[in-house]
Structure 1
Amino acid sequence: MATPAEALLSASLGLVGGVLGAVAIERLKAGVASLEAEFVRLDTVEDELFEIFEMPADIADRSSALRRLVSKRRRLGQNIRRKVIDGEAYKSCKAQLVLLDGLLAKAEDAVPLTDDIERDIEAAIARLRSQLRRSSKTAKAFAFLRGDA
């Protein structure tokens, strides 16, 4: 039979472990929500980039749409930098972000949308999404919990 001190210690450790576990799960859930927000941002950037390419060059709203999209792309890059912890994985993401910057420059120059540009946009977004799924802090936490890390 346990002494009162041992029972108190056991209960305290159980409480602390439960609180720490709950905190870890909440952080993981927040990480998943944050990662999902980045996927939504990626989809938005892709959709808006296609819309800008389809806009005629002489429409006044085109320049404001381009400024908003450049701002979203910049924010996307900042968020990816925080989420991707591995240097090599970030370099791969950065390469796709630079490709998106080049596509934005083409949109600013009112280059017409071609099949090649369309494929480049879709491929860059797909590679960014894939890289984020594999390399984000949240993905690393899931791998650790599964025992894959």
Structure 2
Amino acid sequence: MPDSICGTWDMISNVNFDGYMTALGVSPAMRKIALKLKHRKVVEQTGDLYVVKTLSSLRSYTLTFRVDEEFLEFTKGLDDRHCKSLVAWEGNRLVCTQQGEKKNRGWAHWTEDNKLYLELYCEDQVCKQVFKKNA
């Protein structure tokens, strides 16, 4: 069983977020604001149900899903698109593939050395974020 990703996590690094947002079609003004934000992740699990909250002073986004169950997702507040999403464990990574207007879109979460890692990808861009557990 993979390590638990549950907990409250504060961002400590954010590489290529601008490239990722550009690939999503986020406006230059919104990208400029978003690049200044420090995100907090809150990951909760009850049985097979996961709730992942991405919190910031500008916007918050909550994603609720069951592993290995496809669902319709509306990325409200991100790029406001509809997509079909599927989250599955691949080794120690919780990986989401999102099918919709954008190609090669999704993300992967995993823990290593008491840190939460997140890769966000869309088309040819990859954003790498690292979070530390909030004590």
- TM class by shorter-chain length? under 0.3
After TM superposition, the score normalised by the length of structure 2 is 0.23
User: Greater strand percent: which structure?
Assistant: 2
Instruction: Pick the structure with more helix per residue.
Output: 1
Q: Which has the larger radius of gyration?
A: 1
Q: Normalized against structure 1, the TM-score is what?
A: 0.22
